[in-house]
Amino acid sequence: MKYLFKACILCASFFSIKVFCDVNDFRNWTSSGLALWSVEEQALIGREGDGFFISNLEYKEFELFIEFWISRNTNSGIFILCQDREHINPESCYELNIWDNHPNQNARTGSIVGKVMPPLAVVATEGKWNTYRVTVYDSTIVVKVNNVLTAIYKVDELRPGFLALQKWGGGEVKFRNLRIK
């Protein structure tokens, strides 16, 4: 397995953020939107504004493991199998939500927004490090939060797509130890 988050240097401009790493682990990721992304203490942190951190690579069948930390007033998510880089949303991707306080509790953390709602189990994630483990195989998406099964979704056909980490609303979200195999 490859760890994608390492010690890095960020170079920011008015229009975009470029990420440079000593081992080039971020060479296949870019940012979109107004969220401010930084790397501190080996974690990718999204603050202020709304936006995404997007993989340039596409995946079809894979296992994804990531740790996340979320503040109370932040809406976040992990978007997988995305098809449209200009419109990242639950219609063009599968959104694995990270938002314990979602106004619609059926779409809270652990759900696949618009597909598996409510999640199969309620997991509290605010203000602490948590894990998402996602397996995509044989037209099935299996989602676990903190090793608790929260969603299983079967579709006729899964198309390859990119990944996007979301930061929306106030507060901050942190991601670390991203592994894809």
In a domain, 19, yes or no: no
In-domain check, residue 122 = yes
Give the sign of the dihedral formed by CA 127, CA 69, CA 83, CA 48: positive
pTM, full prediction? 0.86
CB burial class (10 A; 0-12, 13-18, 19+) of residue 95? Answer: buried
24 inside domain: no
User: Rounded to 5 degrees, what angle do the CA atoms 13, 18, 23 make?
Assistant: 150
Distance CA 132, CA 66 (A): 5
**Measured on CA atoms in the order 130, 135, 141, 147, is the torsion positive or negative?**
negative
Domain count of the chain?
A: 1
What is the spatial distance between Cα 174 and Cα 47, in angstroms, rounded to a whole number?
9
In this structure, is residue 156 part of a structural domain? yes
User: Using a CB cutoff of 8 Å and minimum separation of 24, what contacts does 100-106 make?
Assistant: 100/70, 100/72, 100/124, 100/125, 100/126, 101/72, 101/73, 101/126, 102/75
* pLDDT score of 14: 38
CA trace torsion 19, 176, 144, 95 (10° rounding): -30
Here the CATH number for the domain that contains residue 72 is 2.60.120.560
- Distance between CA atoms of residues 114 and 90, nearest Å: 7
Structural domain containing residue 156: 51-180
Contact 119, 104 (CB under 8 A): no
- Asked if residue 13 is part of any domain, the answer here is no
pLDDT value of position 15:
39
Q: Which of 176, 95, 170 is nearest to 130 (CA)?
A: 176
Q: List the chain pLDDT tens, one digit each, 181 residues.
A: 444 444 343 434 333 433 333 323 556 789 999 999 988 888 899 999 999 999 999 999 999 999 999 998 899 999 999 999 999 999 999 999 999 999 999 999 999 999 999 999 999 999 999 999 999 999 999 999 999 999 999 999 889 999 999 999 999 999 999 999 9
In a domain? residue 158? yes
Residue 82 lies inside a defined structural domain of this protein: yes
CA 127, 27, 1, 42 torsion-angle sign: negative
Residue 151 lies in a domain: yes
